[in-house]
Structure 1
Amino acid sequence: MTTTAETPETPETPDLSEIRGPQKLGPLTPLVGEWEGDIGVDLSYHNDDDETSHTSYFEKASFSPIPVQENGQQTLWGLNYSMTAWRHGEEGMDPFHDEIGFLLWDKINGQVMRNVVFGRGIAILAGSDAGPHDRELHFDAKPGDPSYGILQNKYLMERAEIKDFTSSFTIVDDETFSYTSDLTLRLVAAGVTMHHTDKNTLHRVKRFHPSEA
């Protein structure tokens, strides 16, 4: 009896866009690089005009990986970042908003964190639960919270106290992300509580690569 050798099946060539390595940065992985966005909208109180109004803006953002951080048994991977915004028509002048900080990923505990400092004398550590492949990340903080809290200088505390901070980053696709940010403020002089909100959509203009100088 004759037997015919079976031809081994050739494995299909995988779609390179679907191949993912360990992704130590977890859900922060898509943010690495430099970004620009030109459809920003800021809603805030303007002291000079004594009114709350909208401002449109152009923005630049940069996210770069940092060395692994180890707190005892806790391991954090993350990015240092900066976001700077100019009002439309004032791109050649001083920016009206600037922030620097870290985005951190705690894989074991399933947490993302945004450790941000604003040039107005405000520091916030915000965070929430997250999975390694989540496309929408939430960063929340409240004054007095022992983990995710808010600090601000005495002047602001007496006149425009921050009562709540909520923010989210949404990965739209490999080259686009959007964000929203909301500060709830108690304006002492006016005796009211108001929201200071920002939102924008940014597009990647540069990827980082180890071969770059």
Structure 2
Amino acid sequence: MATVLGPQKLGPLTPLVGEWEGNVGVDLSYHNKDDEATETGYFERASFKPIPVVENGHQVMEGLNYSMTAWRHGEEAMDPFHDEVGYLLWDKKNGQVIRCFAVPRGLSILAGGDAGARDRTLTFTATPGSDTYGLSQNKYLMERARATEYESVFTINDDGTFGYTSDLVLALAATGETMHHTDRNTLHLVKRYHPSVEFG
């Protein structure tokens, strides 16, 4: 029997609403102390909460505010090594998904891409200097680990899990080379929001 779906005001963002956890994260990044790129496993918590309708003149968007926090395996009781906050937006009329977020390294990204209302794979891209989907970074990063390209893919899997990959291309002053700082994880839903449940 076919599943009957509701109106999905949030479009392709609808399945993300709730709180998620994943313990199979892998971060590939450059470690200055060791002068090499290495992989690190991590545990992650993420939350996606609906926000009021966004109106920019004739543009109307639905959206979520979100946070993603990650701890290295073995350091779950300590400070996280990654903390990210931002918004996911759905522009139905123009068929666009938008991800705007910041991380406390002095880096902010506005990424986006084309999407249909019931797409289960969402691709967000950003390029420095773009008038639309770009990124901004502090002076230290510009001089030592300049970001030159960004792409992230969200996937809603058939088993109900949520997976993502991200790829931030960096020009490293220490090596004179370009590297791909990548992250990937698969998370499962641990709390579904419902009208009878209040959340801040």
Letter in 2 for 1:170: T
The partner residue of 1:165 within 150, 160, 179 is: 150
Letter in 1 for 2:96: Q
Q: CA deviation at 1:137?
A: 0.1
The partner residue of 1:104 within 89, 93, 99 is: 89
Gaps of 5+ in 1: 1-14
The partner residue of 2:174 within 189, 192, 200 is: 189
Provide, for residues 72-93 of structure 1, a one-character-per-residue CA deviation record: whole Å limited to 9, x for no partner: 0100100000000000000000
Provide, for residues 80-119 of structure 1, a one-character-per-residue CA deviation record: whole Å limited to 9, x for no partner: 0000000000000000011000000000000000001011
Give the ranges of 4+ consecutive aligned residues of structure 1 lying more than 4 Å apart after TM superposition: none
Q: What is the total number of aligned residue pairs between the two structures? A: 198
Corresponding residue number in structure 1 for 2:57: 72
Q: Are the counterparts in 2 of residues 30 and 174 from structure 1 also a CA contact under 8 Å? A: no
Corresponding residue number in structure 2 for 1:115: 100
Larger radius of gyration: 1
Letter in 2 for 1:151: S
User: Once superposed, what is the RMSD of the aligned Cα atoms?
Assistant: 1.0
Q: CA deviation at 1:173?
A: 3.1
Letter in 2 for 1:131: G
CA distance in 1, matches of 2:159, 2:18: 11
CA distance in 2, matches of 1:92, 1:38: 14
Gaps of 5+ in 2: none
Deviates more, 1:54-63 or 1:173-182: 173-182
Corresponding residue number in structure 2 for 1:3: none
Q: CA deviation at 1:175?
A: 2.9
Query: TM-score, normalising length from structure 2?
Result: 0.97
